[in-house]
Structure 1
Amino acid sequence: MASFLIFNMYAIKSTQARHRQETTWNQGLWMMPGSEERVKPMSRCVKFIWSSNENPTKSPQLCPGLRSWETPCDIRIKISWFSKPKEDCLMSYFAGDARYELNFVMQTKLFLNNGVVTSTGAAARDLEIEKALIVTGPITAESEGLATAVETLEGAKIKHAVWANVEPEVPERTVSACVNAYRENECNGIIAIGGGSSIDTAKMAGCIIGGGGSIREYDLTQERQAPPNLPPLLCIPTTAGTGSEVTSMAVFTHGDDSSKRVVISANMCPNVALVDPLLTYSMPPDLTAVTGIDAFCHSIEAYLSTLSSPISDSLSLYAMELAAKFLPRAVKDGEDDEARAGMSVAATMAGMAISHAMPHFAHAIGHVLGARCHVPHGAACSAVLPQGLRKLKSAQSGKFRKIACIFGLAPEDYAGEEAVADAAIDAIENMISTIGLPRLEDVMGQFEGKPSELVSACVIEPGMMFSPVPLSELDVMDILGIKSG
């Protein structure tokens, strides 16, 4: 099976000349071509052109050398900034100058229920794992959930070694150390138990185990891609946020400049995910908030992405609805059964959504802020979310009506689409404040350096290409509250 939503979109060149950016995704390669014709089959060629003649403040390039992941599917996409529908109705995806062919295939086998961690041994046996490296952090290593997983492995007569040295934000040295532990213990499979850092570490370690080299050779700015012969991977999340247990993505911190780098490969998708809401009960309120808001950001960014579709929208909307309803409750009361279950479902569905529609401005800027302001990933993303959404409301007015309804607002009570969007964004901002996450000014207060360098780093983040509105350096400055001059 393959974990991809396959689009065949042949959008005619946009009539909007200003801020035009065209993106082609062909056979697993993202491109911003200069061609005005329909998509043509290509092998392995990457080129970027950013049309910004009428806006000299825009960065002249997005990210040299960006490529995407290998895929067994034939994927051809051509879109432009202005080819996405403003109205959120089904036929708007099929009308006009774009033709969409939508296919959805899920690679990761997902089991979600209270107590499903007791299936660890059976799942590992089905994957033909004889000796597993359990990848986790020092706190989770002492948890009841891990003890239960180990007990079921022993019951299934599967050997194991516990490697409990995962670090937050996954420095590349952590990935290398995990690979060494796998080889030293002569394992033939990996079981990741923990939050996003544990799962991402396991996924990236698998890349190196199967393909050699170092993890920096696999990030989006490089040519190397994960091979198909990776060790079997079973993931058991203990947080409700990243959704990494069902995605083809992982993030590490580069050793040279502390920047966040993304690795994406179809081959890196976990084989099996056991999502057990009971494992999330031990999260304190601050961790519940910072991981849960990441799931919310995933859902709303995927919903507004240039790669959104009716299929990804259904995942995004329900994940957003669950997070809006249950995240404040889970933060307030960690023993709230319904809230914990709801957030586990939200995080997993949002992970599925971003695998097909891709996150954009909040994660792009959040990666930079997280690395340079030394704040947790979720807090960095949520800090820029409200102001960034205000930049997008004109391009996605129909979708903001749905977002408003999720927060219990009645669009007919407001005078126009812009007022509806503003009310929805205000509700999101209120939720972020209610769960105790830092304000943007608090996050920016941690930054030491030149604002211009911060802004430049943000606009060249790869995820920016999926924003429904192209964001210039001036836009990013406005989002971050940086005054020009």
Structure 2
Amino acid sequence: MNFVFPLTKIIFGDGTSTQIGNVMLGLGCKKVLCIYDPGVKAVGIADPIVEAIRLAGLEVFEYGNAQVSVPLSSVHEATQIAKDAGINGIVAIGGGSAMDTGKAVNVCLTQPGDLEQYVGTLDAGMVFGPLLKPYVCIPTTAGTGSEVSPIAVVYDEKAGVKKALPQQENVPKVAIIDPLLHVKMPPGLTASTGMDALAHAIEGIGGIARNPMLTSWGLTVCEMIFKYLPRAIANGNDLEAREKMAMSATFGIMVGAYGAFHIPHALGHSIEAVTHAPHGITCAFAMPEVCEWYADLIPDETRKMAAMLGIDSNGGRPIAEVGQEFKNALRAFYLKLGCPRTSNVIPNQADIGRIIDLALGEYTYMTAAKRPSKEQMTRMLTSACESLN
């Protein structure tokens, strides 16, 4: 059993985002690029954090146009600002879009050649870690977990596909996780990001690089999400639920990233590339069908996850039967959260063929411990569409 586990320093707790100035000083920074999206600015989260950095005596340059799916054009815009300013530190404030933008900017800013040579799966060039700028993430959502992962995903607008930037050296130096920043998330975003965290945990539990420690974390994350995500959606000011979901996002991504993502993300990235539905929703869309199909690979873990949703999963019941009931329960959980139906995720059923073709070329398909054929994956996605019509 071989694995590499690069660790980010995690500062967790209510109000911890106010420490950002001292954190950047401790990393030796003098000029900082702050990356965030317009929504984070609009709800009043970005400005206090930027001001806290300035109050510590640092110069701040802002890129406030981080975009969903991280198009390469936005990465290059932010990189140019950083180059012109001569920054020596990066802070991302927001969800996965801002944090993945920061990772890509760091590579563009510090590594020789073009970003293109560092994306891919087996053919990605290696990033030289000592050249990277100190990078700190402050997540404002509870799902992506990019604040502690070594992976970023960018969108190549010309090719119309999402590409992975899988670089262990590119894991953020520090993650400041302040659950108080999450109370402004609306219910829909809370649901979408929460389902993304659930996908990370479930996929890592069945990942090709899974190990006993990751499995234990993954099962704990699943249990917390099943309990606390409905509460966070029902009442955004439920601080216990927000704290538990923040923790689930941070530890869930470590389970997925180091255990290895697989089919839900392969389909999710591909649906997202075609229909531009929210990432967490696209990853969760056919996850029940994948879980049923994976049940025989991880029977003990499937029984445990099924029991969390109230299924009688032991007593000698065939794993195929438990897997089917787990699929149905997971689908019911998705709907209970108010997640969208087929018409808002894959409105044109004629797109299924294109989505499957893209998924077969996805790095998360290549890293699956159990790979479905094109026909099997088509049946999974078709089944998900029919069950959510």
Moved over 6 A (4+): none
* Bigger Rg over Cα: 1
SS of the equivalent of 2:141 reads: coil
Paired residues of 1:108 and 1:271 also in contact (CA < 8 A): yes
CA contact (8 A) 2:293 2:323 kept: no
SS in 1 for 2:92: strand
Contact 2:291 2:326 in 1 (8 A): no
Per the alignment, residue 231 of structure 2 pairs with 329
1:364/1:109 CA distance change after superposition, 3 Å: same
- The equivalent of 1:164 in structure 2 is 64
Retained in 2: the 8 A contact 1:459–1:476?
no
- Contact 2:34–2:92 (8 Å) recurs in 1: yes
**Equivalent residue of 1:411, what SS?**
coil
- Which residue of structure 2 lines up, in the alignment, with residue 24 of structure 1? none
**1:423 is matched with which residue?**
325
Q: What is the correspondence of 1:25-36 to structure 2 with a 5 Å cutoff?
A: none
- Deviation of 1:388 (Å): 1.7
Name the SS for the 1:281 alignment partner.
helix
Residues 65-108 of structure 1: per-residue CA shift (max 9 Å, x gap): xxxxxxxxxx6xxxxxxxxxxxxxxxxxxxxxxxxxxxx74421
1:464 positional shift: 1.6
- Whether 2:367 is the aligned partner of 1:474: answer no
Change (3 A) 1:362 1:223: closer
Equivalent residues of 1:176, 1:214 under 8 A apart:
no
Structure 1 position 477, deviation (Å)? 1.0
**Aligned-pair distance for 1:132?**
0.5
Q: For structure 1, which runs of at least 5 residues remain unmatched after alignment?
A: 1-6, 9-74, 76-103
Give the alignment's Cα RMSD to 1 decimal.
Answer: 1.9
Tell me if structure 1 keeps the 8 A contact 2:34–2:60: yes
Aligned to 1:278: 180
User: Quick one: distance in 2 between partners of 1:257 and 1:154?
Assistant: 40
The Cα shift of 1:195 comes to 0.6
Specify whether residues 393 and 448 from structure 1 end up closer, same or farther in structure 2 by C-alpha distance, changes over 3 A only: same
C-alpha separation between the residues in 1 aligned to 2:114 and 2:340?
Answer: 35
Q: How does 1:10-409 map to 2 (within 5 A)?
A: 105-220=5-120, 222-228=123-129, 229-409=131-311
SS at match of 2:184: coil
SS in 2 for 1:262: strand
AA matched with 1:472:
S
Matched to 1:270, the amino acid is P
Assess if the C-alpha contact under 8 Å between 2:91 and 2:135 holds in 1.
yes
Amino acid in structure 2 at the alignment position of 1:119 = Q
TM-score by length of 2: 0.93
Q: Which runs of 5+ in 2 are unaligned?
A: 384-389
Q: Distance in 2 between matches of 1:340 and 1:347?
A: 11
User: Distance in 2 between the 1:148 and 1:453 partners?
Assistant: 44
Give the conservation status (yes or no) of the 8 Å contact 2:266–2:359.
Answer: yes
Q: C-alpha displacement at 1:162, in angstroms?
A: 1.6
Identity %: 30
**Matching residue's letter, 1:318:** T
Residues 262 and 364 of structure 2 are in contact (CA less than 8 Å); yes or no, is this contact kept in structure 1?
yes
Question: Retained in 1: the 8 A contact 2:303–2:314?
Answer: no
Letter in 2 for 1:114: D
Contact 2:267 2:355 (C-alpha < 8 Å) held by counterparts = no
SS of residue in 1 equivalent to 2:67: coil
Contact 2:225 2:248 in 1 (8 A): yes
Structure 1 residues 440 and 383, CA, compared in 2 at 3 Å: closer, same or farther? farther
Deviation at residue 407 of structure 1 after TM alignment: 2.1
Cα distance in 2 between the residues matched to 1:296 and 1:205 = 28
Letter in 1 for 2:135: L
For the 8 Å contact 1:250–1:262, the answer to whether it is kept is yes
User: 1:218 is aligned with what amino acid?
Assistant: Y
CA distance in 2, matches of 1:455, 1:411: 32
